[in-house]
Chain A
């Protein structure tokens, strides 16, 4: 009976209830959506690179080095000499290295020049190696291995020929026309920037820029950066210091985990600002709901008096108001989650292709559950305002004309 009265009472005031629910839904959508993107971005970034002890590049900012070497965002300010790379790679404590040569693109996707060690030593997520969905790693200078997203979006299959461009824009005017590359492998999806990358050998990269040379035996003069793994992680700081003080040219080595944390702490001001704003939006919507219910109490004065006469306690009246709050909040939560799933599904492709982040469609994480619980509790607390007002009015003297 109680639910029936609460439900019918809401239906009776459809218009104002619908507007209140709309305001609540939007604000919950914003709050939960931002929280979810934040979490996904954080875990996405953190899982992009794993098992790499140091990343070495020309001297620049830590974060800049991380961004261009791992996330393919921005550009290197300078390259490092091949000789420096060879010298450091030959250090006794170094177990493996992956050279990285960036600076070219194909239809907006970055081209990465590297060697076969990339497919052996590169790790993402929880120490997961790269896997080929089809084909084999590159062997010749004009072989290319595509990231999953590149192959999917551009519709390439094994054996297709493609032309790489110099520069990193979507449209490039200097095509390296004379060097068509052949797709020999396609990687399985990783949810990291690897999916957005075309991988070729360093020799192929060099051949693109040196016309008419004997591609088979080309040795690059410079590379952009390299990753390295140590035989024992204990030596990481020692080697880092040595690289930073390297005499041949100004170099810099970063620990990817540490730099990721730095990146997040620089972003945390923005994160917190977004959080505060979305929380305030929700609080405003909750105030709006309380105001709507308070205003409705005036027109429901006689209804409430009538129920009191029938034997309703003031507590019943207060709970009735609170129940209406709950119904509206639960409805808004459900609507917001539904819309959010749709929005994420629609926006996912954009996030993957623009930032290389795979936003999880799974909203039902413990973080989301806590957010929803907090929203619920906040709504119940806010509902106490009209409920308390109804309680006071109906327990104090009930006046009637006549």
Chain B
């Protein structure tokens, strides 16, 4: 019995140590860069105003779609907002805003105050749907084409350089 315990305990610890050893080589920084070039998953998200849902499959009807994850409480979102308004003037680009973990009335006030650049407005009250898009902080913006392929992924607020880049991609 003692012998068996001895072997079991030793094997158990060996396994743990092997994994810990391998984990030393792990990539420490969480990165969603590799999502670029892949298709976005098929997800249903609640619409912001009405009780309906938005299915990501619908984006195949658009030439290009911008998915912007934002919230009224998020300070950098306020900063990037004028840039989103600029983007909304591009005709072959549909703007989809996903309101992230927010209070509805605060979000409405935010859009009233700063303008509403979005063609479609959806909400992710619990932040669970956004996980499917590899979102780990907001604001984040994803540019997809009609085949639902991710062309670009912007983490943090969009700046003028990003806007120009998006313009270029969409014009081609």
State whether these chains interact.
no
